[in-house]
Chains A and B, each alone.
Chain A
Amino acid sequence: MLRSIQHVEALSSRQISTTSMLLKNRAGKTKSTSNRTQLLTYEMAQKPHHIGVRKSWLTWHSQNLEEFRQSQPLVVAQDEVVRRFIRGFFPQNLVVSGNEIVIKRRGNVLIVAGFLQYSRRLDIRRIYWMFGFAEEFLSILLKQPVKLEMAFVESEEDVAYNYI
């Protein structure tokens, strides 16, 4: 009983918190390096308030418009499924960890666009097989035609816009 008196004293003494506030806006801010090695793609280099001005959206559909919101949550969930599938299926070919895959919906078709890089063992037949598999798999999963429109770059440096 007496032993706990010490703690009561400690609690009663008031202190000033020196921790920085966590209410700041962190989106679109990339930490720079001293030797400018941090790669920024065009998409990363533009700030969030530039969306629709200097850069575009990573998903294109009509469910954000007024009176078109019948299945907005569905679209968000589908996007996540598609992105995760592409990241998991092409792990050797991703650039910037597959964060910049663009998903476009046109009519009933879902188009997945973006950049991939050559893997260490470049086998074009394998790429074709994987494209065929991914298109058919996602089509059956989402019950709508899915097309891949991915372009290839030699390495991640090819998509660099700036180094900070």
Chain B
Amino acid sequence: MIGRMGLGRVITRSLSSVEPALSQKLTIQPAIERSPTDLLNALSETVGPDTTAPHFAYIDDPITIPSTQSTKKTYFMAKEFGKRAARELATEWPTLFAFDRDQPQLPVFRPRHLADPLQVEPTENNLLKMISSREVKDSCILYERMRSENVDVSEKVQLELFRLVTYYNSSNVPFAEWEEFVGMRNFGEDSTSSWKSGAVADLLFETLPKTDETVSIMIAGLCKFSDHSSLERARELYKEHRAAKGKVYREAFNGLIGASSYSVGKKLVAEMISLRMTPDIFTFNALLSSAAKAGKFEDRVKAFTEIIGEMKEIGVEPALSSFHLIIKNIIDFKLLDNEKRESDEQKKTYNHQLTVAISWLNEIQNSLTGKTLKPITSTCNLFFVEAMGIHYRAANENLAENLVSIYESKANEVKMPAFTIESMFYNRQLQLAVEQSASLNRIYDLYTTMVPRLVGVNNYLSSLVFRKLAASSDRHWPLLRRVIIDGIAAGQMNGVIGEEMRKQLCNVQLHTLGTSEREQFTSLVQKLVAVWVEFSQFTEERMRRLQRKLSPSQISECALLLTRIGEQQKAYELLDLLLDETASSGDEATVYPRGHARPWAMAELFEDALRKRDTYAAATCLQIMSLTANRAKLEPLANRIFEKCNVNQEQVRIIQGFIRLRPQ
């Protein structure tokens, strides 16, 4: 009963409160039509790349994140070599890893030794297996073994082997084509080799009948690993085969064009067309590399223009690698080096060529904007780094930013290998932005998003930022702190950058910093001084190679920084080292015997001591200053000590005697 009454009261109250609203009609909105992926898209828009995290290949822990280019390489390779060791172990003792529950069985978890060409049965089947797994040297050994054991090898298998050995010049697959170990692919270096004459490829060429295919393969191989004699041979083969009314394949033409001069290249293309072969992108790239050999700038530009015009004419879309060839070769090679441009004439020519290069790039970038870019050849990715190099030379920040937006857009599928080429690309962009920008805030934003994730810390970049900080009238503590911390992680503390760090820290005006910033300043100075002192104390025989002795100027700067953060005792312990002769001589020396304390630092320390009426500190400063100053300069300083500090007659007498003994 009570419940019903209560309910009635609630209803009447709610009705009375909503009465005016009832006049408005309530309509339910129709549901918004959404596709099945709309939710996922919305979610993906909220998450982006974490610009503060390291690359995913590294252990995400402050101590294990690499900060320089060389540590990135070292750590990556260390991890890869660990993996290779484990695989080697599993290959050697497969029975210890025989936990076989996976369905389907995955061969990637069952590493096996490659068949030994000296042990396997000398059959065609085994040879074919080796050829299909691209074991070039092993298949050569097995083939030679089969020949010596008089085992017949069919023509078909011989042709397969011939294709393989000619393509790889009878040597193993280069690192660049390794699939399993990424580190070797990106960091390993292969020397470009010239054609191995008298190897299995030549032997097979003599054995096999001279068909269109074999001759074309041979010509292409000779041109790929070209030296003077191999090129001669390729040309002779081509002439002989053409004289015998044979047909040469496109790959052979491409090889010959790429290795010839531009005029010869054009003739070869005309011959291709007469054989009803339409040139493809590889032909044009070969033609571009032959055009790049022209000595004169005007000839090169004319040839490039002709080639691009021809490509448009027959509807071949230029690949990024074509643009790379143009951009790389447009400026005279000898003018690229800053030191070699001595005369005004040369500088003028260089500027003209750079302007032309920039206008070409502007056109190229306009044509690339909004287009889907796909990798066509293996050198497509090099376009971006080369173009960024030109923008850096011309200090054209707008085009550089445009290039980065093209590279980072979703339509671009051409990616540079991380840590090597990509790092160079972003390094140039960052250097250009830092050089051109006047705003320290912008530099800070760029620096924090790119270093050390994309760009390794390097001396040039750090000194560039320090220069910017020194030149700017504003102060930017977070940027300075970040560059110094990165410098510590990158091992820049000793040497020129370390000196720059101290100079910058001495220039910081503490009263402009906030409370937390002042705490950061204190801990940074403490850390830096502790590290420098520790480095100087590696006096034991086995540690001596790590030792970096303290220089007198370094000591004076460190002492100044320590007094600023209120650590007088530590500061004067350091300054005492300058007056202690045993600290700079003998095997246990921690201080360089040469050099002098910085006069401005000592003057500030002296003033500070007077302000505090600290006789001991003021006298220490006076003694250090007496190492470089004469009597006339020291006398007024001594008088100031007598004025400001509580000195007794005995002390006055000692100080006056000390001054009197200094040279005039």
A-side residues, CB < 8 A to B, are 71, 74, 118, 122, 124-137, 139-144, 150-152
Asked whether B102 lies within 8 Å of A144 as measured between CB atoms, the reply is yes
Asked whether B81 lies within 8 Å of A132 as measured between CB atoms, the reply is yes
Considering only CB atoms, which chain A residue lies closest to B105 in the complex?
A: A143
Q: Which of B66-99 contact A (CB under 8 A)?
A: 71, 74-76, 78-83, 85-87, 89-90, 97, 99
Asked whether B102 lies within 8 Å of A132 as measured between CB atoms, the reply is no
Asked whether B111 lies within 8 Å of A124 as measured between CB atoms, the reply is no
Asked whether B97 lies within 8 Å of A151 as measured between CB atoms, the reply is no
Out of B61, B76, B85, which one reaches A151, CB within 8 Å?
A: B61
Residues on B with C-beta less than 8 A from A124 are: 63-64, 71, 75
Residues on B with C-beta less than 8 A from A151 are: 60-61
Evaluate whether A137 and B90 lie within 8 angstroms (CB atoms) in the complex, with A127-B59, A128-B59 already known: yes
Residues on A with C-beta less than 8 A from B85 are: 129, 133
Asked whether A118 lies within 8 Å of B89 as measured between CB atoms, the reply is no
22 contacts between A and B (CB under 8 A): A74-B101, A124-B63, A124-B75, A127-B59, A128-B64, A128-B75, A128-B79, A128-B82, A129-B82, A132-B80, A132-B83, A135-B86, A137-B86, A139-B109, A140-B109, A141-B99, A143-B100, A143-B102, A144-B109, A151-B60, A151-B61, A152-B64
Question: DSSP majority for the B interface?
Answer: helix
Residues on A with C-beta less than 8 A from B1 are: none
Out of B60, B74, B78, B106, which one reaches A143, CB within 8 Å?
A: B106
Asked whether A129 lies within 8 Å of B111 as measured between CB atoms, the reply is no
Considering only CB atoms, which chain B residue lies closest to A142 in the complex?
A: B99
Residues on A with C-beta less than 8 A from B111 are: 140
Out of A122, A131, A137, A139, which one reaches B59, CB within 8 Å?
A: A131
Given contact pairs A124-B64, A135-B82, A137-B86, a sample of 14 additional A-B residue pairs in the complex whose CB atoms are under 8 Å apart: A128-B64, A128-B76, A131-B59, A133-B85, A133-B86, A134-B82, A134-B86, A136-B87, A137-B89, A139-B109, A140-B110, A141-B90, A144-B102, A144-B109
Asked whether A133 lies within 8 Å of B102 as measured between CB atoms, the reply is no
Asked whether A129 lies within 8 Å of B102 as measured between CB atoms, the reply is no
Evaluate whether A135 and B83 lie within 8 angstroms (CB atoms) in the complex, with A141-B99, A142-B99, A144-B102 already known: yes
| Closest chain A CB from B89 CB (angstroms) | 7
Residues on B with C-beta less than 8 A from A129 are: 78-79, 81-82, 85
Chain B count of residues within 8 A CB distance of the other chain = 29
Considering only CB atoms, which chain A residue lies closest to B91 in the complex?
A: A140
Asked whether B101 lies within 8 Å of A143 as measured between CB atoms, the reply is yes
Out of A130, A131, A133, A140, which one reaches B97, CB within 8 Å?
A: A140
Give bound CA distance, A136 to B100, whole Å: 16
Give bound CA distance, A109 to B126, whole Å: 36
| Closest chain B CB from A114 CB (angstroms) | 12
Out of A74, A141, A152, which one reaches B61, CB within 8 Å?
A: A152
Give bound CA distance, A151 to B62, whole Å: 9
Considering only CB atoms, which chain A residue lies closest to B61 in the complex?
A: A152
Give bound CA distance, A127 to B76, whole Å: 11
Give bound CA distance, A140 to B99, whole Å: 9
Residues on A with C-beta less than 8 A from B89 are: 137
Asked whether A125 lies within 8 Å of B87 as measured between CB atoms, the reply is no
Residues on B with C-beta less than 8 A from A133 are: 82-83, 85-86
Asked whether A141 lies within 8 Å of B97 as measured between CB atoms, the reply is yes
Give bound CA distance, A151 to B63, whole Å: 10
Give bound CA distance, A128 to B71, whole Å: 11
| Closest chain A CB from B374 CB (angstroms) | 29
| Closest chain A CB from B537 CB (angstroms) | 19
Of the candidates A126, A130, A136, A152, the one having the most CB atoms from chain B within 10 angstroms of its own CB is A136
